[in-house]
Structure formats: structure tokens, C-alpha cells
Chain A
């Protein structure tokens, strides 16, 4: 039987998959590194966030749900910082 929580999971994970798909298309199709970086962060931040959100109702315990959120937060922090680093390396390379 499909419950409301299952529907929520399906919707959130589908949305996350969409962002990953869009991010990948952007990564392959965008013209330069900065725009590609922009596409990639959408997949990382929103896509993974939605997938994590969709998986929370399916976690066995509150602790594993918390772990999912922590994983997302860690990816957010490292993704944002490394994008900044890559962006700076690009700007330096251009000068």
C-alpha cells in the first residue's frame, strides 16, 4: 500500500533526480567552466538535498535520518567552498 509518506518520498526523490539530470546536462552543454560550475552546484545542493529529504521518512531511526541531513550539510559546505576555490583558480588563469 502506498502511504502519504511514500508519495512524499517519491515526489522528493524524483525532484532530486531531475536536478541531478539538469545539472548533468548543464555540465555537458554549458560553454565555459564558470557556468558549468553553476550547473554542478544545482545538482549537488538541490538534487542531493531533495534526495536526502525524500529518504528521511524511509530511515530506520531518527539517528539515521539525522545522518542523512548531516551528509547533505557536509556536501553543501564542501561544495560551496570548492566551487569558490575552482572559481578563483579560473579567474587567476584568465589574467
Chain B
């Protein structure tokens, strides 16, 4: 008898425990810390489900970027204590509880009523990848870039829309200015040290994760998120300041990924016979070419989400 099922049970109960802690935490900061821990534990769950690609994304985005985003947002809110806010009435509480229980029951019922074997698109997708001759060793990347390419492209468009949403919250007067620095304090030696040590190594690891994504777990999103984190670390150390939102290079970097993806897709319509098809034999280099620009867009978009809307007078 293996010890693994017990370890899995421990992991599952830890995830549940941290989830409950996160929702019941009254302190905003504690809730964010709980959420980050929850993201990291989920990454372990994905590894146990043999999905290292998802685990990498979950660790980078769920554990890392979202944590920074939430802490920054909490700080901007002035971190009000939730318990001091108006409490919902008992009727609303019961209604929320009943609705949540209904959703949970429905989800559980659906999972229990799945036919055996469950319906799956996986064989079809695998056949399609082989048929397209994508030439990639990593089936996840092949699915994302070849089989479901429109979805992947639109995902990046959503990211740009989110950045536009954040930017549009700024005041009219501040438009075009840079977002406020990530930390109000002056540069602090240990933070500068961390940024100077970590950023070069992290950037290399990010490029490695993107490059290796063609054949092994990894890919554009994971690499881009790591690169984004490195930019954020240097901004937090005040080694660099957030760029002006009307900077030409920033906007080009943001749209580069989806734009190159779309152009390649249209080119595929002419050269390979259908929208988002790649000419056989050239699939791998084309996919890596598109992904390189997507890394750029992700690395630009995530820090801009964290940096927030342009703010006037940030030079003071």
C-alpha cells in the first residue's frame, strides 16, 4: 500500500482549510496571504494531477502575480477592516449560504453522474495535433497554439482589455502619465539587492521556460508571467519606475502578441488553406515566433495591471 493517497488526502484537506481561512479571515492582509498560500497549494494539486503546465501557471499567476495585485489593491483601498464595514443582514447571509450550497451540490451531482468513461475531447485533440504536424513535443503547447489557437489569441486580447480597463480608471488630468511607483518609500538596500540578484536570473529562467515549452512543461504564459514578476521586482526596488501609459514602446509591446498571432493566422489562411493553420514543416518555428511576442505582451500587461491607473504628480 502506497503512502501517496494519504499525502493526497492531506493536501486536499490543506487546500480546503486554507480556502476556509481565506474566506473567513476578517483582516484584508490575512485574507490575501491565505489566498497566495491557496494558490501555491493548488499548484501542488495540479502537479499531483500530472498537469505540470497548469501548476506552473497557477504558481506564477495564482500565487504570485494575483497576490501582488491584491496586496496593492488592498493598500490603495486604505485597508479598511472588513468587520467595521456594514454587516449583511441574517436574511442575506442565509440566502448566500443556500445558494452556495446549491451550486456545490449541483457541481458534486454533475461530477458523480458523469458517464464512465467520461466524454472527452482529448483523443480528437491529440489526433488533430498529429494531423497538423505541429512538430511540438509538448502536447499542451500544441493544443494551445494549434488546435485552440483562436482561444489562446483571444485570451491575450482579454489581458489587453483588462489593462485598458485599469488605465481608464485614472483621472482625465493624469492621462498619459505614468502609474504611481509600486512602493512609496525610497530605494531600500536589501530590496535593491534582491532585485539586482533575482531579476537577471529570473529573466533567464523565464526565457528558458518559454523556450522549453515547445517540448516540455512550460510555455509563453508561464515564461511571460515570470518575466512580468521580474519587472515588478525591479519596480518595487525603485530601480526602474513604471513607464508612462502613452509610451509608444509599451503599447507596441502590449499589442505585439495578439497582433503577430492574428497576422500569422491570416497568413495561414492564404498559405495553408485555413485560418490559423500553419504550413506543414514550418509549424514549430512559426509557433515559437508567435509565442515570443506573446511572452512580451504578457510580461508587459501583468505589471501594468499591478501598477494601476496613471496618476498625476507622481514625480514628487
Task: Give A residues with C-beta under 8 Å from B.
Answer: 70, 74, 77-78, 80-82, 84-85, 88
Contacts and interface: CB of A to CB of B under 8 A. Distances in A.
Interface string B201-228: 1000000000000000000000000000
21 contacts: A70-B201, A74-B198, A74-B201, A77-B194, A77-B197, A77-B198, A78-B194, A78-B198, A80-B190, A81-B190, A81-B191, A81-B193, A81-B194, A81-B197, A82-B194, A84-B190, A85-B188, A85-B190, A85-B191, A88-B188, A88-B190
A84 B201 CA distance: 21
Contacts of A78: 194, 198
Residue from A70, A77, A81, A85 with most neighbouring chain B CB atoms (10 Å): A81
**Range class of the B interface residue count:** under 10
Contacts of A85: 188, 190-191
A78 B194 CA distance: 6
A80 B193 CA distance: 10
Interface of B (DSSP majority class): helix
Nearest to A83: B190
Contacts of A74: 198, 201
Residue from B188, B197, B198 with most neighbouring chain A CB atoms (10 Å): B197
Nearest to A77: B197
A77 B191 CA distance: 11
A80 B197 CA distance: 12
A52 B201 CA distance: 19
Nearest to B202: A74
Contacts of B194: 77-78, 81-82
A82 B194 CA distance: 8
Contacts of A84: 190
* 9 closest Cβ pairs, A-B complex: A81-B194, A84-B190, A81-B190, A77-B197, A81-B193, A85-B190, A85-B191, A77-B198, A78-B194
Contacts of B188: 85, 88
Contacts of A77: 194, 197-198
Contacts of B201: 70, 74
Contacts of B190: 80-81, 84-85, 88
Nearest to B190: A84
A70 B201 CA distance: 10
A26 B197 CA distance: 29
B189 to A, nearest CB: 9
Nearest to B189: A84
A81 B193 CA distance: 8
Contacts of B197: 77, 81
A82 B197 CA distance: 13
A74 B204 CA distance: 13
A88 B187 CA distance: 13
B73 to A, nearest CB: 19
Nearest to A82: B194
